[in-house]
């Protein structure tokens, strides 16, 4: 029999974290572990790096980086390509990342909705959330068409050049939006990228009015994305669902037609996670 639910809350918390939990000063951190995670995260963003390249770019000694890599290799988190003499993220990293996805019901509940959306539109369906000012793609259901968009789980994308990103920004608290835009670099990926905060805010007003966002070749020339926000019980946009494909199929003339199943899918997923459907607003 499990008596944990009858324990005082203070005792239950004590088992999971020590005193000084909110103290993130140096005395409560492990510098060597922190340095190892820096190497691990850097390699995950730029795979296929030689030891000397990693040490030069990270401004760390080759000996230090090598010890970190060998330690991570022992856990399967990175692996060494002996033919190319470069390091890559290892399979164990995927296993651990998959456990994060299983922690939330969002991904599980989204799969049937995304599959139905892909079948209704004929285009790849995507699910993403905001993480530290970027879109983190959690799941994808690919179309069977030969030319298609590809955002594998774990991919990060700038919010200002992403359909899902702009759908989330449109419903973000204004103060948080201002802080995010002040800290972000609105990079130009194509000649259609929105690089000015005021212009982006105008686009967000239109998104709130119509209920969906468009990545109109703003990240990749020849690719277009239509996205809508998913809301939680507090009416906060916590995720975005989208379809993406080549402009030859997702043409400007098709946007209005394709937007309807995207919005419907977002409403279905909102209800599936116990959220409150929020209608377009001016």
- Please write the tens of the pLDDT for every residue from 135-144: 999 999 999 8
Q: How far apart are the first and last CA of the chain?
A: 54
The model's pLDDT over 233-254, given as tens digits with 9 standing for 90+, comes to: 899 999 999 999 999 999 999 9
146 phi, psi to nearest 5 deg = -70, -35
Domain 19-94 has CATH 3.10.105.10: no
CA 175 to chain centre: 21
Q: How confident is the model at residue 16 (pLDDT cuts 50, 70, 90)?
A: low
List, in sequence order, every residue forming a beta bridge with 139; answer none if it has no partner. Answer: 127
List, in sequence order, every residue forming a beta bridge with 245; answer none if it has no partner. Answer: 224
CB 157 within 8 A of CB 165: yes
CB 121 within 8 A of CB 105: no
Greatest distance between any 2 Cα atoms in the chain: 63
Percent of the chain residues past pLDDT 70, beyond the cut: 87
Whether residue 127 has pLDDT greater than 70 = yes
Q: What residues does each domain of the chain span?
A: 19-94, 104-272
CA–CA distances in Å: residue 170 to residues 176, 178, 266: 11, 12, 15
d(CA 245, CA 220): 11
Residue scoring higher pLDDT (3 or 264): 264
What pLDDT score does 220 carry? Answer: 94
What pLDDT score does 103 carry? Answer: 59
Q: How confident is the model at residue 132 (pLDDT cuts 50, 70, 90)?
A: confident
What pLDDT score does 29 carry? Answer: 65
CB 97 within 8 A of CB 111: no
Question: 104-272, what's its fold?
Answer: Beta-Lactamase (3.30.450)
- The full DSSP string for 133-202 is TEEEEEEEE--SSSS-----TT-EEEGGG-HHHHHHHHTS-HHHHHHHHHHS----SSTT----HHHHHH
3-state DSSP percent of the chain in helix, strand and coil, to 5:
50, 20, 35
List, in sequence order, every residue forming a beta bridge with 246; answer none if it has no partner. Answer: 223
Q: How confident is the model at residue 189 (pLDDT cuts 50, 70, 90)?
A: very high
Q: How confident is the model at residue 2 (pLDDT cuts 50, 70, 90)?
A: very low
Rounded to an integer, the average pLDDT of 220-242 is: 95
What pLDDT score does 145 carry? Answer: 82
Whether residue 1 has pLDDT greater than 60 = no
CB 57 within 8 A of CB 63: no
CA 108 to chain centre: 16
Of the candidates 87, 66, 225, 49, the one whose C-alpha atom is nearest the C-alpha of residue 149 is 225
What pLDDT score does 17 carry? Answer: 55
Report the chain's mean pLDDT, rounded to a whole number.
Answer: 87
What pLDDT score does 268 carry? Answer: 96
Residue scoring higher pLDDT (129 or 282): 129
- How many other C-beta atoms are found inside a 10 Å radius of the C-beta of residue 13? 11
Rounded to an integer, the average pLDDT of 106-114 is: 93
The model's pLDDT over 18-54, given as tens digits with 9 standing for 90+, comes to: 555 455 555 566 888 999 999 998 998 877 899 999 9
What pLDDT score does 55 carry? Answer: 92
Residue scoring higher pLDDT (159 or 13): 159
Predicted model pTM:
0.70
d(CA 66, CA 61): 9
């Amino acid at each position: 029999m499990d008596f944990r639910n009858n324990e005082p809350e203070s005792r239950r918390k004590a088992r999971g974290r020590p005193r000084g939990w909110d103290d993130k000063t140096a005395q409560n951190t492990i510098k060597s572990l922190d340095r190892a995670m820096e190497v691990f995260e850097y390699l995950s963003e730029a795979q296929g790096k030689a030891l000397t390249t990693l040490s030069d770019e990270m401004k760390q000694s080759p000996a230090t980086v090598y010890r970190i890599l060998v330690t991570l290799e022992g856990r399967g988190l990175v692996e060494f390509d002996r033919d190319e003499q470069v390091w890559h993220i290892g399979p164990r990293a995927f296993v651990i990342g998959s456990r994060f996805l299983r922690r939330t019901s969002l991904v599980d509940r989204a799969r049937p909705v995304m599959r139905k959306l892909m079948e209704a539109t004929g285009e790849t369906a995507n699910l993403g959330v905001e993480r530290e000012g970027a879109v983190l793609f959690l799941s994808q259901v690919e179309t069977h068409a030969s030319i298609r968009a590809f955002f594998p789980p774990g991919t990060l994308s700038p919010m200002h050049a992403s359909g899902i990103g702009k759908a989330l920004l449109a419903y973000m608290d204004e103060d948080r939006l201002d802080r995010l835009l002040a800290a972000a670099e609105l990079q130009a990926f194509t000649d259609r990228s929105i690089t000015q905060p005021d212009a982006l805010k105008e686009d967000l007003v239109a998104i709130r009015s119509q209920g969906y966002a468009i990545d109109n070749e703003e990240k990749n020339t020849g690719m277009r994305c239509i996205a809508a926000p998913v809301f939680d019980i507090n009416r906060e946009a916590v995720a975005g669902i989208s379809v993406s494909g080549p402009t030859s199929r997702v043409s400007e003339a098709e946007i209005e037609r394709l937007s309807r199943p995207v919005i419907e899918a977002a409403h279905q997923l909102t209800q599936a996670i116990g959220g409150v459907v929020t209608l377009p607003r001016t």
